[in-house]
A and B are shown apart, each in its own frame.
Chain A
Amino acid sequence: EAQVTQNPRYLITVTGKKLTVTCSQNMNHEYMSWYRQDPGLGLRQIYYSMNVEVTDKGDVPEGYKVSRKEKRNFPLILESPSPNQTSLYFCASSPKAFGYGYTFGSGTRLTVV
């Protein structure tokens, strides 16, 4: 089944403890992206990658890192999480960089205390 897989689905962590949210897609998509979804603020893009080893900042990149060493994987790294990063996170992929709809993952609900 064609899909984007995120792990974990739920995560509670403490301020300052580094964490990684994994994202993997099995559709050979070139483009991958991370979004956060907050009530009243909608979907906001954190980082995106147009292909392997090519990443760029989205609208809200502060406090996050990403890497794209392989086409299928696009992990999101929070080096020192803070409570304002408590949110619902979605990974998405599409065949090409622009002009194609996304396939989204099921989401990761992160709580930083």
Chain B
Amino acid sequence: GENVEQHPSTLSVQEGDSAVIKCTYSDSASNYFPWYKQELGKGPQLIIDIRSNVGEKKDQRIAVTLNKTAKHFSLHITETQPEDSAVYFCAASIHGQNFVFGPGTRLSVLP
């Protein structure tokens, strides 16, 4: 079955710097890759997603890139702010199957 790895498990950056979180997946049939942000005491929130027919997608300070050949996808956050501090999860799904989530990355943005 599908397996999703996520790195790093923790990440600290200075406010204003960029943050990058990378996920790798095992099944080349995976075709949809969402990213979620979970703030303390809240449920995960979908922040951006990408489908396998697209290589990159941007939404303001957030971007996701997908490399199908290498089977990895990455979340990029630019100009980080303290409110970006949270746990971030990646996920992958194959059509017809449920999501497999990565283990999460705890991002701390230091003022």
Determine if A104 and B43 form an interchain contact, defined as CB atoms under 8 angstroms apart.
Answer: yes
A4 to B45, CA, bound (A): 11
Give which listed residue, B44, B46, B98, contacts A58 with CB less than 8 A. Answer: B98
Interface residues on A, range: 10 to 19
B46-97, CB < 8 A from A: 46, 49, 51, 89, 93, 95-97
CB-based contact B103/A90 at 8 Å:
no
Cα A51 to Cα B49 in complex, Å, equals 23
Q: How far is the CA of A103 from the CA of B97 in the complex (A)?
A: 18
**Mask of A51-86 contacts with B, CB within 8 angstroms, 1/0:** 000000010000000000000000000000000000
Per-position 1/0 for A78-105, Cβ under 8 A of B: 0000000000001010000011111111
Count of interface residues, chain B, beta-carbon cutoff 8 Å: 23
**Does the CB pair B46–A42 fall under 8 Å?**
no
Task: Check A98/B93 contact, CB under 8 A, given A104-B45, A106-B42, A106-B43.
Answer: yes
The answer to whether A42 touches B43, judged by C-beta atoms less than 8 angstroms apart, is no
Does A104 contact B44, Cβ atoms closer than 8 Å?
yes
Give, as a whole number of angstroms, the nearest-CB distance from A106 to chain B.
Answer: 5
Shortest beta-carbon distance from B106 to chain A in Å:
12
Most buried by A among B32, B51, B99: B99
CA distance A106 to B44 in the complex (A): 8
When chains A and B are docked, how far (Å) is the Cα of A87 from the Cα of B97? 25
Q: How many angstroms from the CA of A100 to the CA of B91 in the assembled complex?
A: 11
In the bound complex, CA of A105 to CA of B38 (Å): 11
User: Can you list the 10 inter-chain pairs with the closest CB atoms, starting with the nearest?
Assistant: A104-B43, A101-B46, A101-B34, A43-B101, A99-B32, A104-B44, A42-B103, A106-B43, A107-B43, A101-B49
Q: A43-B44, A48-B98 are in contact. List 10 more A-B contacts (CB 8 A).
A: A33-B98, A43-B89, A45-B99, A90-B43, A90-B44, A98-B98, A99-B51, A101-B49, A102-B44, A103-B46
A-B CB contact pairs (8 Å), 13 listed? A4-B43, A42-B89, A42-B103, A43-B89, A43-B101, A98-B95, A102-B34, A102-B46, A102-B99, A104-B43, A104-B44, A107-B41, A107-B43
